[in-house]
Amino acid sequence: MREFIYRSATVTVALFGLASFQADALDIRVAAASNISRPMKSIAAQFESNTSHKVLLSFGSTGMHYAQIRNGAPFDLFFAADEERPERLEAEGVAVPSTRITYAIGHLVLWSPEKDRVDSEGRILVQSSFEWLAIANPKHAPYGRAAREALESLEIWDVIQRQIVRGENVAQAYQFVATGNAEIGLIAYSQIRRANAETAGSWWRVPQSMYTPIRQQAVLLKDRPAARDFLRFTSRNEAKKILRDFGYEVPTERDAGGK
């Protein structure tokens, strides 16, 4: 009897497995923020080798993705650079309810490609001994907003206005600094962190107390098992390790859910 149950259970599970294989062996379309392109590619590759799914990644600005999704773009998942856009999609009923999670937490750093430019306490900001400071646009980019908050905490936001140059996103802010057009920039730690090598230049990690944490959230758009699987996968340890390697903080179990 036990053997019969055991055997039928195995067969059933196998059948289920088979069935799910056939039903979900479709591509998963993911819209993801440009700043997580590198870790996301690794995570997707890992996922693909573990399962039989294929992940199609589209990187871009969160604002553009939001607009596209609102107008019917066929994405299954949305990995944003902030919380606001996923929140909106949920509130507007576009996203699948109760699927919003924080998948990564970004950190702000002040960076210069030159070795001894930025001191370990970021005093250069207050001393104002630079021509241009690059930040992302505080109006709509999460890292820009964080930069502004940090500068306001330091009480130099108004003073420093004439020296601020805005990139449309943190990637642009990075470009400005990397090409030497701006000497320093408030950018994402993930942009300068190298997994296998020492970080080039000099930087100061802006204390978390100075700005609202940059919680990058994801949300499910189409309720498909394969998509759900991928979303779940990004919270798994393998994925978390990848994110950490790329300089992101990963949420603990406590703050993994939506706010």
Partner 1 sequence: MLAENDLSALGTTLRLAFVTTLILLLLGTPLAWWLARTRNRCKVVVDAVVSLPLVLPPTVIGFYLLLALGPRGPIGGLMERLGGQSLAFTFAGLVIGSVVYSLPFVVQPLQDAFTSVGRRPFEEAATLRAGPLDRFFTIAVPLARHGYLTAMVLGFAHTIGEFGVVLMIGGNIPGETHVLSIAIYDHVEALEYGRAHLLSGLLIVLSFLMLLPVYALNRRYRMGRVS
42 or 137, CB closer to partner 1? 137
Q: Which residue has the tokens 């066929």?
A: 74
Dihedral, CA of residue 44, residue 46, residue 47 and residue 53, to nearest 10: 80
Q: How far is the CB of 53 from partner 1 (least distance, A)?
A: 31
C-beta of residue 25 within 8 angstroms of C-beta of residue 53: yes
- For partner 1, the closer of residues 63 and 213 by Cβ is 63
Residue 49 CB, shortest distance to partner 1, in Å, is: 34
Q: Give the residue with the Cβ less far from partner 1, 64 or 195.
A: 64
Cβ pair 174, 185 in contact under 8 A: yes
Quote the CA–CA distance of 105 and 191 in Å, as a whole number: 13
CB of 99: closest distance to partner 1 in angstroms?
21
d(CA 131, CA 66): 35
Distance CA 196, CA 64 (A): 33
**Sign of the C-alpha dihedral computed for residues 225, 237, 85 and 173 taken in this order:** negative
DSSP secondary structure string for all residues of 88-99 = HHHHTT-SPTT-
Q: How far is the CB of 157 from partner 1 (least distance, A)?
A: 15
Q: How far is the CB of 146 from partner 1 (least distance, A)?
A: 15
Name the minimum Å distance from CB 181 to partner 1.
4
Between 166 and 241, CB nearer to partner 1: 166
Q: Which is nearer to partner 1, 140 or 241 (CB)?
A: 140
Do residues 183 and 51 touch, judged by C-beta distance below 8 A? no
Return the number of the residue (171 or 239) whose C-beta is nearest partner 1.
Answer: 171
> Which residues sit at the interface with partner 1, rule CB under 8 A?
61, 63-64, 66-67, 88, 131-132, 134, 137, 139-141, 164-168, 172, 175-176, 179-182
Interatomic CA distance for residues 248 and 37, integer angstroms:
12
